[in-house]
Amino acid sequence: MTFPFQKDGSCGGAEHWSRRNLLKAAGLSGMSWLTPVADRLAMAADLGTHQRPKSVIILWLQGGASQLETFDPHPGKSIAYGGKAIPTAVKGIQFGEKLEQTAGLMNDFSLIRSVVSKEGDHARATYNIKTGHRLIPGLEHPSIGSIICHELEDPGIDIPTHISIIPANFAARGGFLGAQYDAFQVGDPNSPVPDVSPRVSEERNAKRIESLSILEQEFARGRLANLDQVRTQHVTNLERAKRMMTSEQLDAFDVSKETKSERDAFGNTPFGRGCLAAVRLVSRGVRCVEVTLTGWDTHANNLENQNRRISDLDPALASLIKALKARDLYDDTIVLCATEFGRTPIQNQVEGRDHWPHGFSALIGGGGIAAGKVIGETDPAGEKKEPARPVDVEDVHATVHEALGIDYLYELPTSINRPIPISDGSPVRELLS
């Protein structure tokens, strides 16, 4: 009995092999051992009948959001330092007091309160969270959005399929997959998309493109044996850029197309506008949108500074989920709200919290992810570094890939054909409904 494996981790003719049928066939053929590979094949066949999400929106809280003031408060405990909590839509689950709108939507997403990392430095932790791998010399791993765009079918749109809005200094990169998988970077959606309008008249711009085309052809004749079959990457990028510059799909970035009430709901902030733009972009087929909110590195005046950031996060996050649901996009889109690490349970001498990679929070929902659940638990006394049910950063990545139908065990080749697995983690099965 043989099963031809496909790149996505499923098998040929998967529609004929339910999990139950595979188990039955395994017993009849003497495969009673049912190896992990066979078990995975059976699961892939079973999941293959369900609709998969198509896009991911990542809300990136740069600097290290405090779990204690956001999604994992311990009100009344010494580590709260005056921070209060409010009930959510799910009985027994509380959020920090400033997350009022998001708390009302707890039935639409789940929380992982026990994310753990081995990185406590900003740059290394950012790399770890965005790629699902730890930084090692001589190799740059692709970000999760780059992998998604590489592994899922090209939606065939004119605008980029991987976009970073207000990226600060840590925009998502394509790593060893190549610069073509870097995120396309844009700023506050209040401003036009940069570098898409010619700075000269249409006639002069057309002449420039014609002249450039002649130069490219002459260059290629001297370098390549067959111009039609082999094209340099910069030519491909140029063609994509020209197509994008004239595309009507560019209006997906323009949040002014939305009603004032819709814009106001997200908050009159760059981050709020970025989240609204993310909704518009995934509706056009964009695979991954990352929206950054900076300012979470609160080594002093933690409670005041965290609450200031939360006042931007709460309306934008809640409105993002509501808008996706209203436009029938939530089942097609995974929403992940993540940060570099958490903050220490014990405050320092200037009422700040320092870096804490030993148990922090991530919010995940949409795309068929189970909702209303809480995975893991941190110590309310702040003494234990290891939370209950720890979830590695790599496990979060594996969960997203599994939900999208990407084989997280698949090995991608680097430029020197070194095989690198998409993820070193394991999916959080409780979240995969």
pLDDT in tens, the chain (433 residues): 333 333 343 333 333 333 334 433 444 444 444 444 454 444 444 444 457 899 999 999 999 999 999 999 999 999 999 999 999 999 999 999 999 999 999 999 999 999 999 999 999 999 999 999 999 999 999 999 999 999 999 999 999 999 999 998 888 999 999 999 999 999 999 998 876 655 555 666 566 666 666 666 666 555 554 444 445 555 555 556 556 666 888 999 999 999 999 999 999 999 999 999 999 999 999 999 999 999 999 999 999 999 999 999 999 999 999 999 999 999 999 999 999 999 999 999 999 999 999 999 999 999 999 999 999 999 999 999 999 999 999 999 999 999 999 999 999 999 899 999 999 999 999 999 7
Q: Crossing angle, helix 36-47 and helix 19-28, to 10 degrees?
A: 140
Token pair belonging to 361? 């929070």
The partner residues of 162 in beta bridges, in order of sequence, read 288
Q: Cα separation of 140 and 314, whole Å? A: 33
Token pair belonging to 393? 């950063």
Token pair belonging to 386? 């290891």
Find, among 278, 249, 112, the residue nearest to 183 by Cα. 278
Token pair belonging to 201? 């008249």
Q: Cα separation of 125 and 74, whole Å? A: 25
The answer to whether the CB of 124 falls within 8 A of the CB of 82 is: no
Token pair belonging to 253? 């970035």
Token pair belonging to 331? 């089942």
The partner residues of 165 in beta bridges, in order of sequence, read 186, 291
Q: Cα separation of 110 and 302, whole Å? A: 25
pLDDT number for residue 222: 58
pLDDT digits (tens, 9 = 90+) for 260-294: 999 999 999 999 999 999 999 999 999 999 999 99
Residue found by looking up tokens 């639409």 in the block: 108
Domains in the chain, start-ordered, CATH in brackets? 1-50 (no CATH), 55-189+254-431 (3.40.720.10), 195-248 (no CATH)
pLDDT number for residue 201: 56
Count Cβ atoms below 10 Å from residue 419 Cβ, excluding itself: 9
What is the 3-state secondary structure of 269-315? CHHHHHHHHHHHHHHCCCCEEEEEECCCCCCCCHHHHHHHHHHHHHH
Helix (H, G, I), strand (E, B) or coil at 29: coil
Count Cβ atoms below 10 Å from residue 327 Cβ, excluding itself: 14
pTM: 0.84
The partner residues of 364 in beta bridges, in order of sequence, read 110, 336
